Amino acid sequence: MTRTYFGTDGVRGRVGRSPIVPEFGLRLGHAAGRVLRAGGAMRPTVLIGKDTRVSGYMLEAALECGFAASGCDVVLVGPLPTPAVAYLTRALRLDLGVVISASHNPYDDNGIKFFSAAGSKLPDSWEREVEAALPHAEGCVDSEQLGKARRLDDAAGRYIEFCKSTFPNHLTLKGLRLVVDCAHGAAYHIAPAVFHELGADVVAIGASPDGFNINREVGATAPEALIRAVRANRADYGIALDGDADRLQLVDRDGRLFNGDELLYLLAMDRRPAGVVGTLMTNLAVERAIRAAGMEFVRAAVGDRYVLEELLARGWQLGGEGSGHLLLLDRHTTGDGIVAALQLLELAVRRQQTLADQLAAVQLYPQTLVNVRLAPGVDWRRHEAFAQARAEAERSLDGSGRLLVRPSGTEPVLRIMVEHPDPAFGRGCAQRLGDALRRD
């Protein structure tokens, strides 16, 4: 059975259009509750958190109703980062965690994703079970079985203490000035406190959510605001999170932006694990540097859940992707922007060396990405001109670079990425491939 509503990171869409409507939220909560109870949990308890979008109120109420109708108790925590929901679900020994968020998307999108009792993302098979239960998600259990709801008032404080616990007790952030950009999102009342309580002088931006400004010209997807603030405040580092605080962008005092591939390299070179998991988009220079240092490197499909699956399958602990999702399974069960930032600041403090200096040994290869919208009826896998151009491109790269071709999962678009030390060569190669498809 294929999934109709669940994508790579839960259910997501435009608010007011199916499935991001209250009726579906109620049915989804009811269906997920039915699956929990069918799995043997007699009186399941579900934790529901959200980011700062105005639509979160509506979806929170709908989900609460659906879970209660199916016989599940509900714990409400209000605005809280996605990794905080994962942590609290595990720490409180609950049965399921639910996050209402569309991550880095604008305010008029929203989504719903789930975490297991262990604080990890649930497999596709569980999502298929929930979808199979949706047609039967109606009515309610008998009155004596209905769920109750309560609010956990100290949720933010508990998570702040958890984040701080991942930073070594013998070190401090005293002497560092940090700009922390919360994207007007779920970490607005948490991230500044974490870094301040560890000793840093904190300048907070993007920390005044109004329900409509999440990710608007701030946060991990708009790092220009962070760069300006770091320079204006003469800060040592800038930390940008996205709307649900599971991804990280980092800037140094010179305004240099470090992407997720570079941050993954820094962590790998410090920890020297047996292996590291990247994605199909991880820069080739990072892969080669990690392998040269004696570590294994494997690529997963794009998406932090696929990185996590590969880590678990191999028994490894470190992985990530260029967007800033970093997984450190010895610190947390899921990607966490605040925790990842703390591990990188620990490197700078412990080594008394800037992150830029620690990165001097690796230079990223320029990546050229071309998106080609496919005409109706065009099958790129059987396109003769494209096949010839692709074979020629691979011959010309001859191990000096990398070609990646992958279809979009949501639209009729083929994504062509060429990676090569010479940016002009990469651009020309990608353009020729795109032109071969456009001839139709």
Residues with Cβ within 8 Å of 247's Cβ and at least 6 positions away in sequence, in order, are 103, 104, 220, 241, 260, 323, 324, 325, 326, 335, 337
Cα(first)–Cα(last) distance of the chain, in Å?
Answer: 34
Low-confidence spans in the chain with pLDDT less than 70: 1-2, 409-410, 440
**Fold type of domain 11-153:** Alpha-D-Glucose-1,6-Bisphosphate; Chain A, domain 3 (3.40.120)
Q: Which amino acid is at 35?
A: V
Q: Can you give the pLDDT at residue 409? A: 66
Query: Tens digits of per-residue pLDDT, 365-410?
Result: 999 999 999 888 888 999 999 999 999 999 999 889 999 998 876 6
CA–CA gap between residue 91 and residue 67 (Å, rounded)? 21
Please report, for residues 148, 226, 286, 362, 370, the alpha-carbon distance to residue 319 in angstroms, rounded to integers and kept in the order given. 39, 25, 12, 18, 26
Q: Can you give the pLDDT at residue 439? A: 72
Q: Can you give the pLDDT at residue 440? A: 60
Query: Tens digits of per-residue pLDDT, 99-145?
Result: 999 999 999 999 999 999 999 989 889 999 999 999 999 999 999 99
Q: Can you give the pLDDT at residue 412? A: 85
**Fold type of domain 159-358:** Alpha-D-Glucose-1,6-Bisphosphate; Chain A, domain 3 (3.40.120)
- Element containing residue 111 per DSSP (H, E): strand 109-115
Q: Which amino acid is at 334?
A: T
**Fold type of domain 367-438:** TATA-Binding Protein (3.30.310)
Residues with Cβ within 8 Å of 292's Cβ and at least 6 positions away in sequence, in order, are none
Could you write out the DSSP letters of every residue in 203-271? EEES----SS-TTSS-STT-THHHHHHHHHTT-SEEEEE-TTS--EEEEETT-PEE-HHHHHHHHHHHH
159-358 shares the fold of 11-153:
yes
HSE-CB for 184 with a 13 A CA cutoff: 19
Tokens 């994508």, located at residue? 7
Q: Which of 244, 392, 266 is nearest to 320 (CA)?
A: 266
By the 10 Å C-beta count (0-12 exposed, 13-18 middle, 19+ buried), 169 is classed as exposed
In the chain, domain spans:
11-153, 159-358, 367-438
Describe the strand order of the beta sheet including 11-14 as a list of residue ranges.
Answer: 11-14, 109-115, 96-100, 45-50, 73-79, 149-151
Q: Which of 9, 98, 81 is nearest to 301 (CA)?
A: 9
Q: Which residues are catalytic?
A: 103
Please report, for residues 207, 247, 391, the alpha-carbon distance to residue 101 in angstroms, rounded to integers and kept in the order given. 17, 13, 42
* Strands 177-181, 201-205: pairing kind: parallel
Residues with Cβ within 8 Å of 408's Cβ and at least 6 positions away in sequence, in order, are 371, 414, 415
Q: Which of 120, 81, 102 is nearest to 7 (CA)?
A: 102
Beta partners for residue 406, in sequence order: 415
Phi, psi of 405 (to 5 degrees): -120, 125
Handedness of CA 7, 13, 19, 20 (dihedral sign): positive
